[in-house]
Amino acid sequence: KLSSPRGSQLVHMTLMMHSWVMPSQTFAQKLLTLYPLLLLSFAYFTTTETHFSINRKTVYFCPFARLCFPRSPHGNISQAPSPSVKKRKVSLIFDHMEPDEMAEHLSYLEFKNFCNVSFLDYRSYVVRGSVRDNPALERSVMMCNGVSQWVQLMILSRHTAQQRAQVFTKFIHVAQKLRALQNFNTLMAVTGGLCHSSISRLKDTSNLLPPDITKALSEMTELLSSRSNYSNYRRVYNDCTGFKVPILGVHLKDLISLNEALPDYIEEDKINLSKLQHLYSNINDLLAIHSCTPPFEANKDLLHLLTLSLDLYYTEDEIYELSYTKEPKNPKIQPLAPVKPPAVAEWGSGVTPRLDPDTISKHVKQMVDSIVKNYDQNQDGYISLEDFEKIAANFPFSFCTHETDREGQISREEITSYFMRGMSICAKLGYNFNEAHNFHETTYKRPTFCDICGGFLWGVIKQGYHCKGCGINCHRHCRDLVGLECLKKHKNTTGSCPCTPGPDLKTKGNSWST
């Protein structure tokens, strides 16, 4: 019986799902007691990982890991495409990005997160009922929330109702492309952002939306409605073939319902194989999507832009404050009928961004590298101030012009400092990156040594980099090793907002030495 396809599937399912009802060691002991000759002919169970064959398939058994599973021949079930390196330069300005391009890159990030969710992650969530201490699911929740907030912030960052209506329209087109790509999870996030009350209350903006855009939004909310247990979404999703990204919260809700509704045992001492079969089938369907090949490729520079954009974190109160700043309350105007946003079960409740300074620093560095790569025409570490102001408009904190080394240009170091200050405030990291290092390439007239590696700064001119704030000197290749916070000689007392930087220390670079 074990050699038949059905028998093999039953054995595989039992080995994979037994830990839902009993510890692996107890399960192994029961199997040894019931079928000693059969199992001993395959393998000897120990407290370390071992394996045996069933129907010519190698099965690994690890009691301490509480899991039996077929081992992937490549060791990694995630097959998300690696970003294609395109030689052509791309625009990192939001207004220049096509909706199709934006939807594909959001889908790349979403699919990458989805493929990182394993069987153990699903089991942990169902058993504990929380995504806490479950990094893969936490990242998925954070991206969903990040996309929703990003949509709201990009609309609210525009000064006029006409501009806000144009951004709203663009995100509708992004949502339509996400629907065509069958990426329902990001579609839920984008639609939720468009339907958020901080956006739906903007009467002046909504009055400028074309009828077809309003109709498209209505169709999206109908598709994602929670009515009848997401019946519309389930019908469409079940008809999808090939690449697709499910609304993870809906399917996790199904796993929770199955786990709670069906008993672990029947007739007192017999494992309820029907329950394990249903759970196994649902999880297996989700894991099978990992092997799909996305119908698009990604440009890593645009991925860096979106990654940093989604790192932003504002509280609900801050978003509403921004909304009322754009369109204040008017008691004489009849309020709009609220648009009910699509709702997912509270599977991600209590999850707030926990981006550490090192992660922010890494994302900022990647973003700055992409900016310099695409906009530094002379390859001298500077781009035009005009280009950077357009790029900075992708983010809700305002760019403030300040003294630079070159008139009309801004250096890599100044770009990095700007983003570090802005991101630290928006991400609520608790760091004041107005105290970030302000490095400038410097010509030293006296022998000077690197404060990081201790090596001599060789050369005739522009031997190294000097921080105007704390006076540290270092090699170009040592800058990334310097601590994030700059212990300035003169503390800034003008506030921590990135649009009100502290006083610049106007000291000539070539007068510094160690």
Delineate the domains of the chain, giving CATH numbers in brackets. 1-66 (no CATH), 95-328 (1.10.840.10), 357-427 (1.10.238.10), 437-488 (3.30.60.20)
Mean pLDDT lowest among 43-47, 162-166, 347-351: 43-47
The segment with the largest mean pLDDT, out of 44-58, 151-165, 268-282, is 151-165
Is residue 104 predicted with pLDDT exceeding 90? yes
Is residue 75 predicted with pLDDT exceeding 70? no
User: In terms of C-beta density within 10 A (0-12 exposed, 13-18 middle, 19 or more buried), how is residue 193 classed?
Assistant: buried
For helices 99-115 and 184-195, the axis angle rounded to 10 degrees is 120
Partnered with residue 473 across adjacent β-strands are 466
Interval 117-143: pLDDT, tens? 999 899 888 888 788 788 899 888 889
C-alpha distance across the termini of the chain, in Å:
80
Query: What confidence tier does 342 reach under pLDDT thresholds 50, 70, 90?
Result: low
Structure tokens at 111: 């699919």
- Sheet of strand 67-70, all strands in order from the earlier edge strand to the far edge: 50-54, 57-62, 67-70
What would the mean pLDDT of 222-249 be, rounded to a whole number? 93
Is residue 68 predicted with pLDDT exceeding 50? no
Is residue 256 predicted with pLDDT exceeding 70? yes
Interval 352-408: pLDDT, tens? 556 677 788 888 899 999 999 889 888 888 888 888 888 888 887 654 545 566 778
The angle formed by the CA atoms of residues 57, 60 and 64, to the nearest 5 degrees, is: 165
d(CA 143, CA 293): 21
The pTM score is: 0.73
Mean pLDDT of the chain: 76
Selection from 81, 89, 133 nearest residue 110 by Cα: 81
Is residue 344 predicted with pLDDT exceeding 60? no
In the chain, % of residues over pLDDT 70: 71
Place of tokens 């974190």: 313
pLDDT at 490: 41
Higher pLDDT, 62 or 305: 305
What would the mean pLDDT of 77-85 be, rounded to a whole number? 42
Selection from 497, 378, 338 nearest residue 432 by Cα: 497
What would the mean pLDDT of 70-97 be, rounded to a whole number? 54
Query: What confidence tier does 500 reach under pLDDT thresholds 50, 70, 90?
Result: very low
pLDDT at 8: 65
- DSSP secondary structure letter of residue 346: S
Is residue 308 predicted with pLDDT exceeding 80? yes
Q: Are 412 and 443 in contact (CB under 8 A)?
A: no
What would the mean pLDDT of 268-292 be, rounded to a whole number? 88
Is residue 335 predicted with pLDDT exceeding 80? no
What would the mean pLDDT of 323-351 be, rounded to a whole number? 63
Interval 477-499: pLDDT, tens? 777 667 655 665 443 333 333 33
pLDDT at 481: 67
Interval 159-196: pLDDT, tens? 899 999 999 999 999 999 999 999 999 999 999 999 99
Q: Are 258 and 251 in contact (CB under 8 A)?
A: no
pLDDT at 96: 87
Is residue 202 predicted with pLDDT exceeding 50? yes
